[in-house]
Amino acid sequence: MEDQSPTPRGSLLVLLVVLCFLSGGAESARVFTIVNRCKTTIWPAAIPGDSFGGGGFELRPGQSAVFNAPASWTSGRIWARTDCNFDARGNGSCVTGPCGPTLKCGVAGSTPASLAEFTLAGSGGKDYYDVSLVDGFNLPVMITPVNGKGKCGAAGCVGDLRDDCPPELAVKVEGRTVACRSACDVFDTDQYCCRGVYGGPNTCKPTVYSNKFKDACPTAYSYAYDDPTSLFTCYDADYIITFCSSRY
């Protein structure tokens, strides 16, 4: 982690070009800026996590953290954990998104969690990125490309699905909704999980539950085949991942 400070968004991105010679050519690192605009502390995590604070770190309200992911970081996911308690050795627990009893994540986190997902190409190639709520929701999150070429739209949502989560999907702690599970996770049916006879884009369709997710997060995946409005592309971009918005 190269910076962690409560700075204005306009000055969040710090460009550091790192030359990596792969197959005789030069590739540059990607800059990822992770921002906490929530009212509470969060514990972002990433896999692979070597270039992201070892896979997990604390981020207080208003803080940002800037990382340089090498050209070898071609795919991965970033999410936030909430209501965590870690000791000085990095051992502890989180209410949502835990990856085990450690601050540093080496494996994917538990669901439900809002996921920022990336598949990155080399110089001149097309990146694919999205925010997925297929496995549930725990925080609003937006992916914003910077300095890229192409359509490069913003993916994710600023709306907080916890405010309007169907009761049968809600994860509650002491009376408050801390996350919203997916219908697949709760009911485990072929229809909700897009499997069996529903295992394809022609048969897996939106449901009343996925529509609820889509209403809150129009540019995030609400079910497995929600590609047209949820999968984004860009060339040679750096990325800002913002958890929550100024409203929350």
Q: What pLDDT, on a 0 to 100 scale, did the predictor assign at position 11? A: 33
Backbone dihedral region for residue 238 (phi beyond 0: left; psi -120 to 50: alpha; all else: beta) = beta
**Report field, pTM of the whole predicted structure over 0.85:** yes
Quick one: 245 exposed, middle or buried, by C-beta within 10 A (0-12, 13-18, 19+)?
middle
Q: To the nearest 10°, the Cα dihedral for 143, 149, 153, 156?
A: -20
Q: What pLDDT, on a 0 to 100 scale, did the predictor assign at position 28? A: 72
How far apart (Å, rounded) are the C-alpha atoms in residues 226 and 145?
21
Report in angstroms the alpha-carbon separations of 163 from 58, 111, 147, 182. 24, 18, 34, 15
Query: What percent of the chain clears pLDDT 70, i.e. is strictly above it?
Result: 88
Return the structure tokens found at 218: 């129009």
Quick one: 106 exposed, middle or buried, by C-beta within 10 A (0-12, 13-18, 19+)?
middle
Q: What pLDDT, on a 0 to 100 scale, did the predictor assign at position 15? A: 28
DSSP-derived secondary structure for 179-232: EE--HHHHH--HHHHT-GGG-STTT----HHHHHHHHH-TBSBSSTT--TTT-E
- Which positions ≥6 away from 91 have C-beta within 8 Å? 101, 102, 103
Phi, psi of 143 (to 5 degrees): -105, 125
pLDDT tens, residue by residue, 149-207: 999 999 999 899 999 999 999 999 999 999 999 999 999 999 999 999 999 999 999 99
Q: Which residues of 185-197 are buried (b: 16+ CB within 10 A; e: fewer)?
A: ebeeeebbbbeee
In sequence order, the β-bridge partners of residue 238 are 146
pLDDT tens, residue by residue, 36-85: 999 999 999 999 999 999 999 999 999 999 999 999 999 999 999 999 99
HSE of 195, CA atoms in CB hemisphere, 13 A: 6
CATH 3.30.1330.10 fits 3-243, yes or no: no
Q: What pLDDT, on a 0 to 100 scale, did the predictor assign at position 122? A: 81
Q: What pLDDT, on a 0 to 100 scale, did the predictor assign at position 246? A: 55
Q: How does residue 245 score in pLDDT terms, banded at 50, 70 and 90?
A: confident
Q: What pLDDT, on a 0 to 100 scale, did the predictor assign at position 61? A: 97
Percentage helix, strand, coil, to 5, in the chain?
10, 35, 50
pLDDT tens, residue by residue, 229-244: 999 999 999 999 999 9
| 118 pLDDT more than 80 | yes
